[in-house]
Structure 1
Amino acid sequence: MVYQPDENRYQTMSYHRCGRTGLKLPAVSLGLWHNFGDSTLVENSRALLRHAFDQGITHFDLANNYGPPPGSAEENFGRILRQDFASLRDELIISSKAGYTMWDGPYGDWGSRKYLIASLDQSLKRMGLDYVDIFYHHRPDPETPLEETMTALDHLVRQGKALYIALSNYPAQLAAEAIAILKQLGTPCLIHQPKYSMFERAPEDGLLDVLQQQGVGCIAFSPLAGGVLTDRYLQGIPEDSRAASGSRFLSSEQLTPEKMEKVRQLNELAQQRGQKLSQMALAWVLRGGRVTSVLIGASKTSQIDDAITMLNQREFSQSELDRIDAILA
């Protein structure tokens, strides 16, 4: 059956402008990190993309190494894009990244001009696209001159292979330097993607201030702390969970009694607000308007629905914010 998107898809989603640019992103964006590789049923991935778009999620976030295996998320996304979204390309924001290890040898990692240009060419072929809307440098390279990396990103925009340039995982001072170089080159930085949640507040130590001052947007990844800020682990560690599988991104050793006590107290506050913990955690990241969008992962359409429902209850009283700070202290 030919996919027909919901005609009311733009009625409930909130769209936020990226800093001082003309581009708006949905308050909730969908990341294709670990649920769109070859180990995932393609039909499930297809259902997630369709459902997300039906709810007004227009931004799909990828990277060259997403999978597993690396590259497979882009390949699968490209296949679904041709099947269901070919006529809807101009309604989508598609982003990709390069900066982590992608292929063997000295040219398949970090931030050289050689790597970044080759990587985006590969990503475009995998997805069957002429351009991506946003291309990120995925992490700082401590050895390549920052000017080389930023000049390569500027070059990709001038080639027409990316519409906007972005950064990820850059600390505040280095982000400020990179933003200044891009501005001088004439290709302003659109947005920065840091790890940010109730349990990861490093962006508050200067980065959010830099982005706001420079008119750069912010999209938070891992806003649910790898699933900890949900009701998933309130009664222990489920056998089919990420923590039980020994994932390097979330291990059972990280779920300490002290942390889980904080999660339980946060869950009680969420219930008092009439929300799930995951919804309150997403709303908290969006509080104050300094974060443009929260980037969620999903393996079920119900998880997308939960995130969208969060938009109905985004405001916090000062007493609620104070209580959250006290719990997390």
Structure 2
Amino acid sequence: MSFIDERGFWFGLYWGSQSVINAVFLISVSYLVAATSWRWFYWLLTILVAFGSVLGFFLLAETRYERSPSSLDGQVSYTDEFGVTVVLSDDEAIERFGTRQEIQDNTTEPEQFSYLHHIKPFHKVAPNALHVGAGVLWKMLQACSSPAVIWSILAASISLGIGIAMSLCYGTILVESFHWSHASVGLVNAGIFPAALLSMLWAGYIGDKIVLWLAKRRDGTHIPEEILAVLIVPTIVSAVGIVVFAVTAMWPETHSSWGIIMGWTLLEFGFLVAIITTTHFASEAYPSNPGSALVMVVGVKNIVSFGAAYGLTPMVTKFGYLDAFMILFAIFTFIFLMGVPVYYINPRWRAYISRSS
């Protein structure tokens, strides 16, 4: 649970810390592979995934929480166990729940449980699990009708896809063109540490302040689309990083390896802010089902980004590094510029969905 002016911070903390852990893995594993064999990359990855799965199974708290509907001024507000909130008239509430829940002045505080109480590694199957699962899947598909969700998926995907494309070739470039040892190639990821910290600062603390300032200009009214303002500077930084990386890769004889390092670092900063902001934006821009929108952006981006990464090798073979990355640069620029019409279209879509429901 978080307030609107805190969400950027929590999204930033989640994605930024994840990137720092990933950077530690990439830097250390290059020395491991150089000392043993490439197979140990996958062995170590398997060990870490298995360890994380065990920790998650035993230590993650149960998140299903049943809330009672509450009635106030002739309307009933009900939030289900998946966090979806609906507002019903009393008649609709009686039809749905069989009774009308009244708010009493002497309502007692709900019992507070400890973290240990919520840890339930083994528990019975949720009631109507198949029905609920089908409903969640349908809500996820419905989320794709939102312009905000579609754009968020594309923006996160192209940023991730270009990042993967860079990671596929920076090792070859550093070893063959700049004569780095294979063991030290992982050091190119050292820039992720400051990039992650800056992205958490920008998309988290500063981003929340920007959203609050824009809300004050609307007499205290916040709209989800104003979150997109946080992306302006990081998008420019990412674009510069793509160009720097491409030019250095194309003409290494006239450039330093710092071009590869800085291009990768700048892109990672922009990517982290993009993934923080797009997940934040999608969860607010589809208020009736924020969980479904969030899952679609986080999950589908990995599928869509595959196209950008997969197309790099044939493009480099045919056109060279500069043209290949400029093609990706053009796609990147087009998608992020589409955020401008989304800013104006999505409020109308949200109003239409509100009237329909």
Query: Same fold judged by TM-score > 0.5?
Result: no
- Scaled by the length of structure 1, the TM-score of the pair is 0.25
Q: TM-score, length-normalised on structure 2?
A: 0.23
Q: Over alpha carbons, which structure has the higher Rg?
A: 2
Which is richer in helix? 2
Of the two structures, which has the highest relative contact order with CA contacts closer than 8 Å and spacing of 6 or more?
2
